[in-house]
Chain A
């Protein structure tokens, strides 16, 4: 094992390159995963903070984001009559594309009634909209575009005044903004239209029972908030998971190659020494162990460095681009560590072949 240590630390540049290579790969995996976790948190934050336990959508619609839901005009009254329903909170919502500073920014508009709920859950500055021309905008979106309270802002040709800034409602894809429901109806030219209903059930009733009773109504779909967030996550995962898996795969391969290459060259260079060791009676297994130990040490050091780098990079990205949320979970760190070890084990295969094929006698003839 002393040999492994010597081989590894003999050449500083090589050590730095191999540890750096693994670190880069581990960092890439962690950042990608953290990015996805952060995005998932951002896209589900509205539903998680919305009132009630059940969401009613148009029949056939199971998502909040991605599609437009339009409920039948008599849905609110019908739902209110269902046994176990305490309070019905309607919202009218629609994805819109804002042109801000020449850039397209998708945003999710929520039209709601401040007396009932469904609006922003945390206002850092200002107040909720009180008139049809007032809006609450996401704090980070406003900051990115130098918008302040009192500023005017046009949505779909209609002027609004920003009266409040909300917190926790941002995402690089779906920043939220809030206006009164009647204002949204005017904007969409859809008087009396409702997209979703949030349902508060009476205390003591079983939510699942109320849900199944609601689902007996025609033309609507009643989901628990959990089901709805799961659907939204699935929708986004479909778009992002394939490219993401591709990248993680590439990162893993690259990390393996780097460690493999370095240990391979280190072994090839010391071929003679290995031959001598073999000639004095060392078994192949011992030599494999030496090589594997080298790979493991490089991989563990690299993985540690990679985790640290990932944290730093994540902080840097979030400081520069506040709409991104990168959340590195302990489970992902474990995963990245395991992939680091995986890289080391696969990498050790490269030089093992060299050693196995080494004839002890050869070295003396050279």
Chain B
């Protein structure tokens, strides 16, 4: 019966293309959307994960960088340094602003970096250096390339001109990039001398980040201290919580489309072979055998569709970076499992209609020419 399923499937090329293609497109819809959001989660946490810090200290109840603002009295630098287990403290300034080149505005997170900062700077500098002094800036390489900038050129950040001294890698996302200027410039532009945004903490070797973070919060009631892992998780949750509803709606649509296409192809394939099924029945084939052929056909096309969809998603994730779009597609295991389950449900449901048809088929009819 599996052979019959194979034959049913491969005999009409057009139908095969449509059924596999349809299933592939529907699954591609779900897969690529998941991949886009997984990619955004990864991009959005790049700075935090590469900062080199073990703990982030922020204003009380501020648990995010993205779309957020934090400010702490500068005196907290000393307080934090005195907490047992804290090895080093690097204060950074942070604001979402623009990197302006001519008429082109690129949204960016601006980081104000102290001189000789041990944490929080660019983690991979492909050209130039990563420690901006007064009047200097480091921006993402892809942003610089897009605007045709090279070292020594001027960029405008926070309304002031800066000289480009370094280009960093991995600091751009679909939405924005990260740019680094000196702490002193940031403070003078922002106008308030006695506030910093975040404190980056490196802990003593052998101590645990969770313990030290708890100690910091106990000794400094006006702050929130999170381990880098937790802080990155909070950041991912912004993306997740904002996108859940949208992703659910899209997944539903993808599922419906996949179901419609599959049901239709399996149904028409059965319909077209009604006579043959009738003959098989007349020859003594049980309904169960015929069902198996139909189910096998549905599963085969869904498996083929799944593979094609996955292939396309991987292809997309490979091509997109070359198109100059800072969009990262990440195919995760969870997403694969989810789409796999969806495909199986689609296959089972789409076999339902033809099964009913076969069950109602009267073997005698086929000989009468119906």
Across the interface, do B260 and A20 meet the contact criterion of CB distance under 8 Å?
Answer: yes
Stretch from B57-65, B111-119, B146-154, B203-211 forming part of the interface with A: B57-65
Across the interface, do B66 and A17 meet the contact criterion of CB distance under 8 Å?
Answer: no
Find residues 266-290 in chain B having any chain A CB closer than 8 Å to their own CB. 267-268, 271-272
B191 interface residue, CB < 8 Å from A? yes
A117 interface residue, CB < 8 Å from B? no
Across the interface, do A253 and B25 meet the contact criterion of CB distance under 8 Å?
Answer: yes
Residues of A within 8 A of B19 (CB): 261
Given known pairs A190-B195, A260-B18, A321-B245, the reply for A156 and B66 (CB within 8 Å) is no
> A157-189: contact bitstring with B at CB < 8 Å (1 yes, 0 no)?
100000000000000110000000000000011
How distant is the Cα of A356 from the Cα of B325 in the complex, in angstroms?
A: 44
Stretch from B79-87, B95-103, B126-134, B361-369 forming part of the interface with A: B95-103
A99 touches which of B61, B70, B100 (Cβ 8 Å): B61
Given known pairs A96-B67, A189-B192, the reply for A154 and B61 (CB within 8 Å) is yes
Q: How many A residues are at the interface, by size bracket?
A: 35 or more
B260 touches which of A17, A58, A95, A253 (Cβ 8 Å): A17
Across the interface, do B25 and A250 meet the contact criterion of CB distance under 8 Å?
Answer: yes
> A327-348: contact bitstring with B at CB < 8 Å (1 yes, 0 no)?
0000000000000000000000
> A1-36: contact bitstring with B at CB < 8 Å (1 yes, 0 no)?
000000000010110011011001100100100000
Smallest CB separation, A141 vs chain B (Å):
13
Across the interface, do A188 and B159 meet the contact criterion of CB distance under 8 Å?
Answer: no
A365 interface residue, CB < 8 Å from B? no
Find residues 75-107 in chain A having any chain B CB closer than 8 Å to their own CB. 94-97, 99, 103-106
Given known pairs A106-B242, A156-B59, A250-B25, the reply for A239 and B222 (CB within 8 Å) is no
The residue on A at minimum CB distance from B59 is A156
Given known pairs A68-B69, A94-B69, A219-B159, the reply for A261 and B15 (CB within 8 Å) is yes
Across the interface, do B64 and A104 meet the contact criterion of CB distance under 8 Å?
Answer: yes
Find residues 192-213 in chain A having any chain B CB closer than 8 Å to their own CB. 192-193
How distant is the Cα of A63 from the Cα of B107 in the complex, in angstroms?
A: 10
Residues of A within 8 A of B98 (CB): 60-63, 67
Across the interface, do A157 and B60 meet the contact criterion of CB distance under 8 Å?
Answer: yes
Across the interface, do B159 and A60 meet the contact criterion of CB distance under 8 Å?
Answer: yes
Across the interface, do B25 and A254 meet the contact criterion of CB distance under 8 Å?
Answer: yes
> B204-246: contact bitstring with A at CB < 8 Å (1 yes, 0 no)?
0000000000000000001010000000001001101110010
A317 interface residue, CB < 8 Å from B? yes
Residues of B within 8 A of A243 (CB): 32-33, 36
Stretch from B2-10, B248-256, B292-300 forming part of the interface with A: B248-256
The residue on A at minimum CB distance from B189 is A70
Across the interface, do B191 and A239 meet the contact criterion of CB distance under 8 Å?
Answer: no
Residues of B within 8 A of A257 (CB): 18, 21-22, 25, 261
Smallest CB separation, B351 vs chain A (Å):
15
> A220-232: contact bitstring with B at CB < 8 Å (1 yes, 0 no)?
1000000000000
Across the interface, do A106 and B263 meet the contact criterion of CB distance under 8 Å?
Answer: no
Across the interface, do B158 and A70 meet the contact criterion of CB distance under 8 Å?
Answer: yes
Across the interface, do B105 and A104 meet the contact criterion of CB distance under 8 Å?
Answer: no
Across the interface, do A246 and B32 meet the contact criterion of CB distance under 8 Å?
Answer: yes
Across the interface, do A97 and B96 meet the contact criterion of CB distance under 8 Å?
Answer: no
Residues of B within 8 A of A62 (CB): 98, 105
Q: A104-B64, A254-B261 are in contact. List 15 more A-B contacts (CB 8 A).
A: A14-B268, A20-B260, A21-B264, A58-B159, A59-B159, A60-B100, A70-B158, A104-B234, A156-B59, A157-B222, A189-B59, A190-B190, A269-B271, A317-B249, A350-B14
Q: Please list the residues of chain A having a beta carbon within 8 angstroms of any beta carbon in chain B.
A: 11, 13-14, 17-18, 20-21, 24-25, 28, 31, 58-63, 66-70, 72-73, 94-97, 99, 103-106, 154-157, 172-173, 188-193, 219-220, 235, 238-239, 242-243, 246-247, 250-251, 253-254, 257-258, 260-262, 264-265, 268-269, 317, 321, 324, 350
| Pairs A–B under 8 Å by Cβ, sample size 28 | A17-B267, A21-B261, A31-B249, A61-B97, A66-B96, A67-B96, A68-B96, A70-B95, A70-B189, A96-B62, A96-B67, A154-B61, A157-B61, A190-B192, A193-B190, A219-B159, A220-B159, A239-B175, A250-B28, A250-B29, A258-B22, A258-B264, A261-B14, A261-B264, A262-B268, A265-B268, A317-B249, A321-B245
